[in-house]
Each structure stands twice: as structure tokens, then as C-alpha cells.
């Protein structure tokens, strides 16, 4: 394990290319990202602060703060940054590193539960089924939620990549295996 910056470049470089990730060090703390961040208007999440902390190798502080998971990946900061910092992609890579180190937020882990159970991050529910029926469609769309064999293929991907272990998924209860005190959302 190197510095957080080195890990970001190594890990994120595999997906985005190293130069993309190296833009972290171009951040001059101008604050245009934070100024336009819709999440920052309602939460304690501060994009500029995150990048400063990442430059300063404050791995544990970043990973242990719930704010890391408050970014909605809207890409507003990505478009606003005057220095070409690949903001949103950097945040996603930092989250990946945090998740690998066991720090994924419960709501994000629950999204994984939905995908494992149905193949959808947002499963089709009663209201959607009623609506589909009202307009003459089958209640259930022809997706993994309807076809068990297809869902099993999705579940196999999760097993193969060990994503189930990363979110601490319990195949018996088809839910999170919670540590005491955790709250499912
Ligand atoms: S807009 Fe870009 S340069 Fe300015 S603080 Fe945000 S990431 Fe840094
Ligand atoms: S991508 Fe995330 S950090 Fe950037 S503006 Fe949107 S919510 Fe804020």
C-alpha cells in the first residue's frame, strides 16, 4: 500500500488511465466544485476539502467520514473545475478504495442487496406493477426480476468478483449480515 494518491493512480488508472487520476494534484482549492455541488447544499460534504485531504494522504479520515458517500455523482463539479481535475471519477475511485477497506456506507451496500435479490438497483414494486397492468402490459417487465435463470447469472458475477463478501451479504437471509448497532436503511 502506497500513499492514498499512489493508490488512487494505481487503482483508478486501470479503469480511467493514470493521467486521469493524476489530475488530483492539479487542484488549487479554488472552491468552484464545492460552490456548485448540490449535495454540499444539504450535507456536510465538501468536494474541495475531500481533494485537499486526499492530497495530504488523510486516508483514514476520508474513509471513516460518512460524507464520502454523500456525492450523488452528478458531474457538476467535473464540468466546473477550471483545472481539469477529474473530480467525480476521483471520488468514485476513492470510494472503491474505501469499500475495499471495509468502509462502504449501509445505503450503498443495500443497493447491492437489491441487485443481488432482483438484478435491479431499483426493483419493480407494487405501484409500478399496477401501472404496467393499467396500460395493458405484463405486471412484471421481462428482466432479471422475472427470470430466475438470468438473475442467477447476475448473482454468479457477484460471487465471482466477491462483491457479496465486500458488502457482507448473507445468502441465507438474502440481506446484509449486520454488525451489532448497524442500521439497515
Ligand atoms: S474546482 Fe477543481 S481546482 Fe477548484 S477546488 Fe474543485 S477540484 Fe480543486
Ligand atoms: S459529482 Fe458529487 S461532488 Fe461533484 S457536484 Fe455532483 S454531488 Fe457534488
37 DSSP β-pair partners:
none
Q: Which residues line ligand 1 (CB under 6 A)?
A: 27-33, 47-48, 51, 80-81, 83, 85, 87
- Give 138 Cα–ligand 2 centroid separation in angstroms: 37
Instruction: Record the pTM.
Output: 0.86
| Helix segments in 56-180, DSSP class H | 59-64, 76-80, 87-100, 106-118, 126-134, 148-160, 163-166
**Is the distance from CB of 118 to CB of 144 less than 8 angstroms?**
yes
Cα 80 versus chain centre, distance: 21
**Spacing, Cα 52 to ligand 1 middle (Å):** 9
Nearest C-alpha to atom 8 of ligand 2 is from which residue? 37
Q: Measured from the CA of 87, which atom of ligand 1 is nearest?
A: 7
pLDDT score at 1: 76
Question: Percent of the chain at pLDDT above 90?
Answer: 94
Separation of alpha carbons 54 and 16, rounded Å: 18
Q: Which atom of ligand 2 is nearest to the CA of 50?
A: 3
Which residue CA neighbors atom 6 of ligand 2 most closely?
74
pLDDT at res. 181: 45
Residue-wise pLDDT for 2-57, tens only, equals 999 999 999 999 999 999 999 999 999 999 999 999 999 999 999 999 999 999 99
Residue 132 Cα to ligand 2 midpoint, Å, equals 34
- Would you say 58 and 7 are in contact if contact means Cβ atoms under 8 Å apart? no
pLDDT tens digits, one per residue of 73-128: 999 999 999 999 999 999 999 999 999 999 999 999 999 999 999 999 999 999 99
Amino acid at each position: 500500500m502506497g500513499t492514498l494518491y499512489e493508490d488512487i493512480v494505481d487503482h483508478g488508472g486501470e479503469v480511467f488511465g493514470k493521467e486521469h487520476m493524476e489530475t488530483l494534484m492539479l487542484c488549487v482549492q479554488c472552491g468552484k466544485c464545492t460552490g456548485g455541488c448540490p449535495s454540499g447544499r444539504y450535507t456536510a460534504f465538501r468536494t474541495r476539502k475531500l481533494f485537499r485531504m486526499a492530497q495530504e494522504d488523510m486516508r483514514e479520515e476520508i474513509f471513516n467520514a460518512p460524507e464520502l458517500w454523500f456525492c450523488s455523482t452528478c458531474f457538476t463539479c467535473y464540468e466546473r473545475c477550471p483545472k481539469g481535475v477529474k473530480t467525480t471519477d476521483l471520488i468514485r475511485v476513492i470510494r472503491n478504495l474505501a469499500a475495499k477497506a471495509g468502509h462502504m456506507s449501509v445505503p450503498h451496500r443495500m443497493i447491492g442487496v437489491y441487485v443481488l435479490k432482483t438484478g435491479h438497483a431499483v426493483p419493480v414494486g407494487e405501484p409500478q406493477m399496477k401501472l404496467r397492468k393499467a396500460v395493458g402490459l405484463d405486471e412484471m417487465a421481462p428482466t432479471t426480476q422475472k427470470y430466475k435463470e438470468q438473475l442467477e447469472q447476475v448473482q454468479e458475477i457477484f460471487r465471482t468478483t466477491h462483491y457479496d463478501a465486500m458488502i457482507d451479504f448473507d445468502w441465507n437471509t438474502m440481506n446484509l449480515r449486520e454488525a451489532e448497532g448497524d442500521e439497515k436503511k
